[in-house]
Amino acid sequence: MFFRWDWLQPQLTAPIVPSLGPVHPDALTVSLFEDVLRAADTADFLPYDKDRRWGGEKDERVLRSDVVHQSEHTLIPTLARRGRGTVKVFAYGLPDSIVDEASELAAKLAARHDVVNARVVCPLGPETAHPRGTRIQLKDFATGPCPAPDGPVRPVTTWSAAVQETFAPFAEAMATDGLTFLHTQMQADRCGPVLAAAVEDRVVGAIGPMEVRLDAIRRPQLMPQYFAVLPEARGQGLGRILWRAAMHWGHSHGAAYQLLQTEVGGPSDRLCQAEGLTSLGFTHTTPA
């Protein structure tokens, strides 16, 4: 075993794992970190990796020989080749004391592996004052029912053919939110259902795909979705209706929980906070 849990556990201020992303606090174990190291030398996905559903090979992997694991802090670098390439160093410990060391390591590894981007990812606890970056939020389906909302939302495939034809231009308009990729997966029939909101026979919002998979401790998790509403259709409550429809789907299909990542202060962040989700902490990413 590489990691000492008595060293690592106190440093885990937020449940974020390199190459996996956020995980349920109950699944945050030393075994999870050991699994990530074991998978570092292959292109295989771990069975519970959320990215496994898209197929292909795992792009981001831990650089296991460059991990720094000490009683005071732990630095875990990852390498992704997509685009111009990125090295991230996940810095566990007190941020004030490790950011410089993590930045130096990220810059060195980016140069060694000939990639353009070098980043430092600092997990921060939920009690952090004036947080920046991304909030990790938990929707626990055991806390109460998730009734189906009233509104113009249904699976894309159950809308009329005329409405379905408007999904492609909607996806193109929301490409920066990942909807073009999602549409490609839908066309190839490689993902679960997508819920869409339509107004005047035109798709103006969507959330999906809707899928439930087992996590590292075999609890059913509603997987993360792409979520977007056209700018001109915002302010009408459609985002909230879409989100509630997705939660109803997850609850009715046996999910125990969902984890979400939202930009602090952004529309999705405000929505999740208003809906009573639990904040598990933050991740703040900075250039090295």
- Per-residue pLDDT tens over the stretch 59-91: 999 999 999 999 999 999 999 998 999 999 999
- pLDDT of residue 97 exceeding 90: no
The answer to whether 24 and 220 are in contact (CB under 8 A) is no
Domains of the chain: 5-124 (no CATH), 137-281 (3.40.630.30)
Kindly report the average pLDDT of the chain as a whole number: 95
| Residue 57 predicted with pLDDT over 90 | no
DSSP 279: E
Chain segment 201-223, per-residue pLDDT in tens: 999 999 999 999 999 999 999 99
pLDDT of residue 201: 96
pLDDT at 185: 95
Q: List phi, psi (to 5°) of 30.
A: -65, -30
Q: How far apart are CA 33 and CA 278, in angstroms?
A: 24
Asked if the model's pLDDT at residue 41 lies above 90, the reply is: no
In the chain, DSSP finds a helix count (H) and a strand count (E) of 8, 16
CA distance 118 to 104: 10
Q: pLDDT band for position 95 (50/70/90)?
A: confident
pTM score of the predicted model? 0.92
CA-CA distance, 104 to 277, in Å (whole number)? 36
pLDDT the model gives residue 68: 97
For the cut 90, the answer to whether the pLDDT of residue 146 exceeds it is yes
